[in-house]
Amino acid sequence: MKPTGENVSMPSRLTRKLLWLAPLLGMFCVLVTGCPHNDYKVELKPKAGAMERTLTFYRADGTDASGRPNYQTFPSNELAAITRVYPAGAVKPEGQWYVARADFAGAMPHDVGGAGSYTNLATSLGDAGFYLERFRGDDDLVAKTARQYHAADQLADLVIGWTQIEFGHEPGWQNLHGFLDGDFRKDLKNAGRYFQLGLTVSLSNTNAPEEFMARYGQYLIERGYLKPAGAPELYLIINGDDAAKLRWIRRLTAEKMGLKTSDPLPKSFAVLADPAAFQKSWEDYLAQGDLYRTKLKAWEEKSKLDSNLAAPKPLDAPNDLIQELLGWSLDGEDDQLTVKLALPHAPYRTNGKWSDGQVVWTVNLGDFRNTLPAICYAGWSNPNDAFQSAHFGAVILADEELSEYCLWQNGLTGSQSAEWESFLNRLQPGEKLATNLKNFRFTTASGPNTTAGDQDHLADGCKMIVEALAKK
């Protein structure tokens, strides 16, 4: 499969505006962005036994009038973390930038945040290279799902607590409580799963977020949260119309309490008619809760070290739960990453973009704080033209077929590999070439401890070459 040219990407502007559907079906909506960020550029050059890695990085807060970065001091703790994973003296300042350069065999350094590897498999027919690296993110799906569900439960408990204060005295409260404690709690968890699935698939399919929003939109319609004819109102809601949001919440609350549309709404519903009254009621409720008290206590400790740290507001209390539910952090810094892998020719498999002798990946690391990690991978091979031409009459193994061959030969034992190389060196182009390959048997292929599976595996190398010859 040739490179697709797709870079790691995230949801469109429309999808971001639809985020309010996932957190509390419209009750909470937080979109916060940060300006200062770190910029990283990783340049990779594969060698026979190692990968040369050059990391260039700096910190900036926007750009000046001429378009140049407004450089800031790079965080000392992050600089120390990068320095620790490079050899002594490898990290050097160059003006406002830092440059780290070293060769790494096998494992890639934990510099930008993540883990990776470079593998090179050499044979007389050529060599194969494999690069794979993740950057940040969270790849523990079991733990992530558990945290999502716990956050959904906490958010559902908050809504139940608030509605009990506002509507607990109404005759239909028990019906509303049953809905919130049952279907609503479950639907919140499904919201988190749908949103997380959309973000995951979006790593390779840029249309995925919209598709999963459509899927979840259908889910909400089937469960009565949205009406098929309510598109105009939905448009107002996703564009931030607070009055439209309250009309939607008011309609849903009345339905779940068992109120008829022809009946006048109770006086208690006045809180759902005025955005300011709704916000004050919700804020007052949060201010008395343990969630806000915990956040406030944490701020009091941090403010002892940083007097400029702003105190949290009661409305900020559920933010961490919303972000955990979504599996996507909505605040923090949008660190930028560019990875460039220099190769003599296009790889046969990658999720990066091939351009001017390089595979290029561009990643907004801020989008991957709590999602699955950003992944960069590439597979390539370099045929030994002279050897293949001398013994087969042409270059017959290249790209993925050569990589498969390299994997096979590097899986042989030392004595098997030596026997195989001796056989290859005796091969000559001509009519008997295919026959000689088909007749070859390892001396260990008929030993007392050799299984049928072992024999099939040992014969794979000959089969690969015979099949490649037949294609020429």
Q: How confident is the model at residue 14 (pLDDT cuts 50, 70, 90)?
A: very low
Q: Which residues pair with 137 in a beta bridge?
A: none
For residues 151 and 22, what is the distance between their CA atoms, to the nearest angstrom?
A: 13
Q: Which residue has the tokens 């070290």?
A: 305
Q: What is the pLDDT of residue 249?
A: 92
Are 245 and 126 part of one and the same domain? no
Q: Which of 28-42, 82-96, 343-357 has the lowest mean pLDDT?
A: 28-42
Q: How confident is the model at residue 204 (pLDDT cuts 50, 70, 90)?
A: low
Are 186 and 302 part of one and the same domain? yes
Which of helix, strand or coil describes residue 209?
helix
Which of helix, strand or coil describes residue 219?
helix
Distances, alpha carbon 340 to alpha carbons 87, 168, 262, 362, in Å: 22, 60, 65, 9
Question: 456 exposed, middle or buried (CB, 10 Å; 0-12, 13-18, 19+)?
Answer: exposed
Contact 19/29 with Cβ under 8 angstroms?
yes
pLDDT score of 9 more than 50:
no
pLDDT score of 453 more than 70:
no
Q: What is the pLDDT of residue 18?
A: 40
Are 167 and 315 part of one and the same domain? yes
Q: Which residue has the tokens 């022809």?
A: 262
Q: What is the pLDDT of residue 6?
A: 42
Determine if the pTM surpasses 0.75: no
Residue 19 lies in a domain: no
Are 213 and 282 part of one and the same domain? yes
Residue-wise pLDDT tens digits, 410-451 = 999 999 999 999 999 999 999 899 999 999 989 876 555 555
Q: What residues make up the domain containing 424?
A: 384-471
Q: What is the pLDDT of residue 108?
A: 96
For residues 38 and 454, what is the distance between their CA atoms, to the nearest angstrom?
A: 51
Distances, alpha carbon 19 to alpha carbons 14, 24, 184, in Å: 9, 10, 17
State the average pLDDT over residues 453-459: 70
113: left (phi over 0), alpha (psi -120 to 50) or beta: left
Q: What is the pLDDT of residue 451?
A: 57
Q: What is the pLDDT of residue 370?
A: 58
Residue-wise pLDDT tens digits, 96-123 = 999 999 999 999 999 998 999 999 999 9
Residue 23 lies in a domain: no
Tell me which residue of 357, 351, 381 sits closest to 134, measured CA to CA: 351
State the average pLDDT over residues 179-200: 88
Q: How confident is the model at residue 270 (pLDDT cuts 50, 70, 90)?
A: very high
Residue-wise pLDDT tens digits, 304-336 = 888 888 999 999 899 889 888 887 665 556 789
For residues 292 and 430, what is the distance between their CA atoms, to the nearest angstrom?
A: 81
Q: How confident is the model at residue 206 (pLDDT cuts 50, 70, 90)?
A: low
Contact 465/397 with Cβ under 8 angstroms?
yes
Residue 8 lies in a domain: no
Residues 6 or more apart in contact with residue 334 via CB below 8 angstroms: 33, 34, 37, 364, 365, 366, 367
State the average pLDDT over residues 333-352: 92
Q: How confident is the model at residue 25 (pLDDT cuts 50, 70, 90)?
A: very low
Instruction: Beginning with the edge strand found earlier in the chain, give each strand of the sheet holding 349-350 in spatial order.
Output: 106-108, 114-123, 126-135, 374-383, 349-350
Per-residue burial over 138-158, b if 16 or more Cβ lie within 10 Å, else e, is eeeeeebeebbbebbebbbeb
Higher-pLDDT residue of 107, 210: 107
Task: Identify the domain boundary among 382, 401, 423.
Answer: 382
Task: Identify the domain boundary among 326, 349, 367.
Answer: 326
Which of helix, strand or coil describes residue 1?
coil
Instruction: Report the amino acid identity of residue 192.
Output: G
Are 246 and 101 part of one and the same domain? no
Contact 323/154 with Cβ under 8 angstroms?
no
- Most confidently predicted of 2-6, 201-205, 293-297, 332-336: 293-297
For residues 388 and 340, what is the distance between their CA atoms, to the nearest angstrom?
A: 30
Residue 159 lies in a domain: yes
Which of helix, strand or coil describes residue 367?
helix
Task: Identify the domain boundary among 326, 345, 372.
Answer: 326
Tell me which residue of 330, 267, 344 sits closest to 28, measured CA to CA: 330
For residues 210 and 89, what is the distance between their CA atoms, to the nearest angstrom?
A: 47
pLDDT score of 5 more than 50:
no
Q: What is the distance of C-alpha 295 from the center of its chain?
A: 28
pLDDT score of 241 more than 50:
yes
Distances, alpha carbon 296 to alpha carbons 44, 120, 329, 442, in Å: 45, 53, 20, 72
Are 196 and 303 part of one and the same domain? yes
Are 412 and 263 part of one and the same domain? no
Are 266 and 222 part of one and the same domain? yes
pLDDT score of 201 more than 50:
yes
Q: How confident is the model at residue 213 (pLDDT cuts 50, 70, 90)?
A: confident
Are 295 and 263 part of one and the same domain? yes
pLDDT score of 209 more than 70:
no
pLDDT score of 350 more than 90:
yes
Are 200 and 298 part of one and the same domain? yes
What is the H or E stretch that residue 198 is in? helix 185-201
Number of structural domains in the chain = 3
Residue 5 lies in a domain: no
Q: How confident is the model at residue 20 (pLDDT cuts 50, 70, 90)?
A: very low
Residue 68 lies in a domain: yes
Residue 7 lies in a domain: no
For residues 361 and 378, what is the distance between their CA atoms, to the nearest angstrom?
A: 11
pLDDT score of 30 more than 50:
no
Are 355 and 322 part of one and the same domain? no
For residues 254 and 80, what is the distance between their CA atoms, to the nearest angstrom?
A: 57
Residue 1 lies in a domain: no
Are 443 and 376 part of one and the same domain? no
| Mean pLDDT, all residues of the chain | 85
Q: What is the pLDDT of residue 207?
A: 59
